């Protein structure tokens, strides 16, 4: 008989038996303890660190991956939950920073449609009974009443909606409400005057999924729900998700079905909160990057990972909800905003239709920063777009004490240039646990201003201070001492962390430079920062680290979750859907990897005060 060990997880106190085959991460997930794992248990992201008092049972020595990811933290008892298979009874502690919880997800969509013109409109009708001299079908009488009352022609009827007609026309003396999609297809018929009709706009991010419930008659946002993308354990970025699909023949269906299950949960949650039935939601719009778009639709994403990175399908048009198994009304429609290219997705198209660069003569630069940074440049005459692989640094990834933007994450620091005293602001005003993306930028910007970091990104060897010390990743700067933090460890930023940020911003800078070169301009009228990052980052910090060239423009605006706003607008105004299709067609995609100057520009862009060589070519 196999001997079972007992694993006790602190601080929750949950106890889990194991036969010694599963990792601590698997055991914790099985016990519903949401330990973070952005790499999906590959031992690379270092996010699932747990604390194991050293004097316990039979511990296997740390693996190479643990040594690489944790460095000297191992001496303090940290291990990676995804690497440890316990061989004896064990008590371990899950630090708060390792828990997936309460992430700040940008949900406000800033959605103000200029005009309400949804795909679906409700019509009250009175259907006369049939007679022996005119035994017309229920549907024929409905179509005639429509024509007579509203002067409109019903051209099609949904197969499932057809089944509702007989009882609807009989239950309230022929008074019904009919719902017409795009002025032509009857997609719902209800007895009496039940005019309520709703829509849901989805923003499927690589990391988070946000859903907005909108009342299509008033345009009002009824409620918002969001959650982590459940695909995260299968890879923290789009390329690792594609790799998962390539390695497992059922990978695509698995990624699609867990995403779908989450979206259906969000629908249920929104409908329960609003006190409505799922069947009253008759349309959903969806924005997402191209890989999310493909995974949601069940399209094989592998071509996106290989040159020339083309998608399988750019525009699908509306799809019946039942064909995608999305639990709004089965007769309703799902409208995925079109994608432009393998790395310029429906989210970028959403940013465009929400911020309207193509409707203005002023030259606009819009940057949506995430793991990939999508950049759009242009005006009424011409629109260019590109995508740069910024990497995870802006989202707290690959940073030693990096974390998502949850409670305890440092979001802003002030450093006195004279004393190097540090003042830290965290989300939720907690003792600091780590650095989120904006926090990392704030720290680096403050250190640049304090001349602790040079233009090349290295710590200034001329500075001597107790906070600046050698660490296992090169020199590091101590932001908070162990006694001040929530982890009881010194909170530091390392030379390697600064380099990660340089890589990320260098990619963005190179993208901006190449687009401006293609457009033949040196200045723009406005710069828009979109996405969670764009909302929370201090413009001054973005300038200081040189994310935006300092001489580019004085007007920098944060536009919040513009991609989600685009999805909401497309739901409320069908002209916006058409506009999205036109923009996906018209916008010119620039493939950075084929630009001969890219590598040089990338390296130049990593510098912190390098002048942008606009006139190079």
Work out whether 518 is an interface residue with a copy of itself (CB under 8 A): no
Work out whether 316 is an interface residue with a copy of itself (CB under 8 A): yes
Work out whether 596 is an interface residue with a copy of itself (CB under 8 A): no
Residues near 177 by beta carbon (within 8 Å), at least 6 away in sequence: 122, 123, 124, 125, 189, 190, 192, 193, 194, 195
Question: Where in 565-594 is the site for a copy of itself (CB under 8 A)?
Answer: 589, 591, 593-594
Work out whether 131 is an interface residue with a copy of itself (CB under 8 A): yes
Question: Where in 133-152 is the site for a copy of itself (CB under 8 A)?
Answer: 133-140
Out of 31, 309, 474, 557, the only residue in the binding site for a copy of itself (CB under 8 A) is 309
Out of 38, 120, 127, 165, the only residue in the binding site for a copy of itself (CB under 8 A) is 165
Work out whether 160 is an interface residue with a copy of itself (CB under 8 A): yes
Q: Angle formed by the axes of helices 346-355 and 562-572, to 10°? A: 80
Asked if 119 and 238 count as a contact pair (C-beta separation under 8 A), the reply is no
Planar angle of CA 294, 297, 301, nearest 5 degrees: 25
Q: With left for phi above 0 and alpha for psi between -120 and 50, is residue 377 left, alpha or beta?
A: beta
Q: With left for phi above 0 and alpha for psi between -120 and 50, is residue 325 left, alpha or beta?
A: left
Which H or E run includes 171?
A: helix 159-171
Q: Least distance to a copy of itself from the beta carbon of 249, Å?
A: 11
Out of 313, 389, 499, 553, the only residue in the binding site for a copy of itself (CB under 8 A) is 313
Which H or E run includes 270?
A: helix 251-274
Q: Least distance to a copy of itself from the beta carbon of 239, Å?
A: 17
Out of 62, 298, 473, 613, the only residue in the binding site for a copy of itself (CB under 8 A) is 298
Work out whether 322 is an interface residue with a copy of itself (CB under 8 A): yes
Q: Least distance to a copy of itself from the beta carbon of 310, Å?
A: 4
Distance CA 590, CA 99 (A): 39
**In angstroms, how far is the first alpha carbon of the chain from the final one?**
74
Out of 27, 106, 270, 297, the only residue in the binding site for a copy of itself (CB under 8 A) is 297
Tell me how far CA of residue 412 lies from CA of 389, 430, 496, 536, 578, in angstroms: 25, 13, 20, 10, 41
Asked if 340 and 365 count as a contact pair (C-beta separation under 8 A), the reply is no
Work out whether 472 is an interface residue with a copy of itself (CB under 8 A): no
Q: Least distance to a copy of itself from the beta carbon of 190, Å?
A: 15
Which H or E run includes 228?
A: strand 221-228
Binding-site size for a copy of itself (CB under 8 A) equals 47
Q: Angle formed by the axes of helices 238-247 and 290-297, to 10°? A: 40
Q: Which stretch binds a copy of itself (CB under 8 A): 155-163, 455-463, 494-502, 539-547?
A: 155-163
Work out whether 159 is an interface residue with a copy of itself (CB under 8 A): yes
Out of 175, 302, 449, 586, the only residue in the binding site for a copy of itself (CB under 8 A) is 302
Q: For a copy of itself, which is the closer residue by CB, 47 or 294? A: 294
Distance CA 165, CA 161 (A): 7
Out of 68, 149, 167, 272, the only residue in the binding site for a copy of itself (CB under 8 A) is 167
Out of 303, 454, 460, 495, the only residue in the binding site for a copy of itself (CB under 8 A) is 303
Tell me how far CA of residue 160 lies from CA of 195, 319, 386, in angstroms: 19, 15, 42
Q: For a copy of itself, which is the closer residue by CB, 449 or 586? A: 586
Residues lying near a copy of itself in the complex (CB under 8 A): 130-140, 156-157, 159-160, 162-163, 165-167, 297-300, 302-303, 307-314, 316-317, 319-320, 322-324, 341-342, 589, 591, 593-594
């Amino acid at each position: 008989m196999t001997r079972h060990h007992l694993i006790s997880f602190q601080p929750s106190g949950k106890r889990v038996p194991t036969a010694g085959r599963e990792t601590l991460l698997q055991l914790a997930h099985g016990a519903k303890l949401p330990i973070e794992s952005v790499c999906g248990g590959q031992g690379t992201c270092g996010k699932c660190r747990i604390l194991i008092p050293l004097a316990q049972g039979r511990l296997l020595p740390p693996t190479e991956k643990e040594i690489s990811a944790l460095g000297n933290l191992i001496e303090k008892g940290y291990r990676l939950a995804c690497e440890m298979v316990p061989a004896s009874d064990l008590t371990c502690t899950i630090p708060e920073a390792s828990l997936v919880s309460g992430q700040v997800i940008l949900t406000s969509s800033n959605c103000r449609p200029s005009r309400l013109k949804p795909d679906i409109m409700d019509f009250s009708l009175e259907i006369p009974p049939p007679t022996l001299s005119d035994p017309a079908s229920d549907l024929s009488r409905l179509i005639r009443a429509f024509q007579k009352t509203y002067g409109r022609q019903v051209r099609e009827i949904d197969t499932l909606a057809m089944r509702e007609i007989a009882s609807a026309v009989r239950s309230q003396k022929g008074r019904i409400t009919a719902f017409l999609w795009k002025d032509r297809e009857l997609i719902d018929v209800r007895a009496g005057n039940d005019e309520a009709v709703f829509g849901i706009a989805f923003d499927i991010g690589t990391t988070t999924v946000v859903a907005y419930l909108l009342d299509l008659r008033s345009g009002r946002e009824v409620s918002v729900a969001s959650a982590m993308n459940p695909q995260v354990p299968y890879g923290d970025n789009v390329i690792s998700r594609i790799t998962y699909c390539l390695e497992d023949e059922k990978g695509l269906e698995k990624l699609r079905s867990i995403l779908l299950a989450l979206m259906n949960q969000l629908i249920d949650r929104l409908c329960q909160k609003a006190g409505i039935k799922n069947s009253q939601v008759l349309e959903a719009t969806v924005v997402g990057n191209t890989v999310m778009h493909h995974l949601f639709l069940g399209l094989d994403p592998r071509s996106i990972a290989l040159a020339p990175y083309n998608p399988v399908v750019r525009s699908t048009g509306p799809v019946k909800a039942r064909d995608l198994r999305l639990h709004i009304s089965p007769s309703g429609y799902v409208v995925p905003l079109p994608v432009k290219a393998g790395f310029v997705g429906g989210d970028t198209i959403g940013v465009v239709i929400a911020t309207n660069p193509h409707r203005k003569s002023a030259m606009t630069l819009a940057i949506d920063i995430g793991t990939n940074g999508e950049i759009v440049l242009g005006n009424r005459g011409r629109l260019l777009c590109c995508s740069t692989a910024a990497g995870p640094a802006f989202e707290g990834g690959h940073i030693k004490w990096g974390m998502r933007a949850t409670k305890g994450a440092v979001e802003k620091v002030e450093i006195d240039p004279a004393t190097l005293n540090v003042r830290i602001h965290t989300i939720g005003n907690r003792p600091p646990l780590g650095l989120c993306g904006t926090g990392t930028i704030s720290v680096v910007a403050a250190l640049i201003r304090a001349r602790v970091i040079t233009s090349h990104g290295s710590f200034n060897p001329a500075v001597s201070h107790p906070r600046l010390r050698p660490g296992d990743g090169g020199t590091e700067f101590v932001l908070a001492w162990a006694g001040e933090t929530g982890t009881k460890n010194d909170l530091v930023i390392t030379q390697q962390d600064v380099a990660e940020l340089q890589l990320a911003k260098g990619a963005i800078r190179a993208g901006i430079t190449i687009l401006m070169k293609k457009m033949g301009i040196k200045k723009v009228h406005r710069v828009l920062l979109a996405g969670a990052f764009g909302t929370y980052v201090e413009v001054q910090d973005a300038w200081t680290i040189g994310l935006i060239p300092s001489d580019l423009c004085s007007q920098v605006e944060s536009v919040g979750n513009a991609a989600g706003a685009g999805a909401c607008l497309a739901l409320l105004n069908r002209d916006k859907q058409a506009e999205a299709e036109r923009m996906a067609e018209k916008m010119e995609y620039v493939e950075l990897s084929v630009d001969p100057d890219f590598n040089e520009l990338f390296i130049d862009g990593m510098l912190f005060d390098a002048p942008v060589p606009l006139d190079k070519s």
